[in-house]
Amino acid sequence: MERLANRLLSTGPVGGKKKIELYYDIISPYTWFAFEVLMRYRKHWNVDVQLKPMLLGGVAKASGNKAPMLVPNKALYMTKDLTRNAAYFNVPLKLVTNAFDLILVKGSLIPSRFITSVDLLYPAHLEAVSRALWMEVWNKDQDFTTPEVLAQAGRTAGLMETQIAQIQAHMKQQVTKDRLKAYTDEAINHGAFGSPTIVAYVQGEPMLFFGSDRFPVLAQEIGEKWLGPEPDAQISKL
């Protein structure tokens, strides 16, 4: 047990890091769980996690998938399951007042372009901005398609007003649209049908995992240890 703890706490990985790509869309609440788990495990697994914002609507259209809101039993299940998962993953998610309007009317094109623009201009802030946007929509029940809410997420993530203005202007540029489409197409080519789509490279070959509940299997495949959704809490008990 002591040797396991020492290995997990080691800051010097042996050999090259394993590559993991997270294709994600802020509109997906389950993706927030997967996002936080991967961020927590970066210092415990010998991995390099690359965040790749994509457009869930494009993936759904290409794969023939449809929103859970359109399946009554799934919609009813999710209202209970999201609350359970929020507690399990220790993520401050709350149910929105009008999920139908959020997912099927407003959609995520605008916030996806926003975080794509952040990735292009200020990539060091991508993690924090993504988390802040999830907080705005899936905790505060704010409209994340509005410039005001996007700007607030930027401020929360530590961006200056001049940077936020630059990011919002960059959202409209073709390079931002092309990047978002490129990552969406990448996910589709990997076989994605929803968000989160996690692609781990095992011996150089991509291996796709869908959802926030496949981490024990992912850990097995990349030769790492799964210590639950909060690895720091587990290690403190060893």
Write the pLDDT tens digit of every residue in 43-78. 999 999 999 999 999 999 999 998 887 888 988 899
Secondary structure class of 3 (helix, strand, coil): helix
DSSP code per residue over 64-117? T---GGGSHHHHHHHHHHHHHHHHHHT------S-HHIIIIII-SHHHHHHHHH
Supply the CATH number for residue 228's domain: 3.40.30.10
105-145 pLDDT, tens digit each:
999 999 999 999 999 999 999 999 999 999 999 999 999 99
By residue range, what is the domain housing residue 218?
2-237
Phi and psi dihedrals of 12, rounded to 5? -110, 95
pLDDT of residue 238: 52
Structural domains of the chain, count: 1
pLDDT of residue 118: 98
Lowest mean pLDDT among 149-153, 208-212, 232-236: 232-236
Residue 233 has pLDDT above 90, yes or no: no
- Region 163-170: mean pLDDT is 98
Q: Pull the structure tokens for residue 50.
A: 């690359």
Question: Could you tell me which residues come within 8 angstroms of residue 232 by beta carbon, excluding any fewer than 6 positions away?
Answer: 40
Q: Of 77, 81, 85, which is closest to residue 34 (Cα–Cα)? A: 85
The answer, yes or no, to whether the previous bond of 196 is cis (omega within 30 of 0) is yes
pLDDT of residue 12: 36
Q: What is the pTM of this model?
A: 0.91
Q: Which amino acid is at 38?
A: L
